[in-house]
Structure 1
Amino acid sequence: MENVILIVHLLLSLGLIGVVLLQRSEGGGLGMGGGGGAMSQRSAATAMGKVTWILAIAFIITSISLTIISARNASGASILDRIGDGPAPAAETTDAPAPLETDGLLPPPSGADTDAPLVPRAD
């Protein structure tokens, strides 16, 4: 049931995007420069406007339905509560890794003889 509602929800969203993009622009974004006609008189409801309202209402209904279904399927515990219930961590070993030998990775100091073998310093 959830998959069916999800597919209908996706189709409604695509349809709503398409219908909104197909509508005629009335110019003057956010009500600017429209001559005051948008606020002073009620415009006639066009077929595209009615379809937009129907798709928007159906979209909201499917959104609420999906929210209710997912709330029913969710467990009562928070995901943070389940962190402590996970598998026990692996036993830590006391063996420390051997220190890395990094002296051979560094370039020789400037002015040093490049033919001499690299010998670790006894610092």
Structure 2
Amino acid sequence: MLQSVLIVIHLMVVVALVGVVLLQRSEGGALGQGGGGGFMTGRGQANALTRTTGILAAIFFITSLSLGILASRSRAPSSLFNNLPQTSAPASPGQQDDKSLFDKLNEQNKTPAPQTPAAPAAPEAPKSE
């Protein structure tokens, strides 16, 4: 439940961040051209948009880290040792098994060789009398 709410907040922050970045005025090629009057002009608009971009970026990083932490907590830890084949202990403490682990694994995975059918016998030639 918490993860779903966090994803929705994260997506809203992403959309707002894209919008704020697109609203900012380009500092390249067309310096001093265009523009004109409006609600906020000049330095005030640049400061507000820069501050808003920074705040949204910080919220974006916080939600990203939170989603990562939530995802790692919901996944159970696993070990490679859980998947190893079980080997049986010797019957008595003094008895040693002379086979190596490699030989034991080969015996477990051994499959019989496929039997190839014998070629049919050639028909006998008719005998002339």
TM-score between the two structures when normalised by the length of structure 2? 0.48
> Which has more radius of gyration?
2
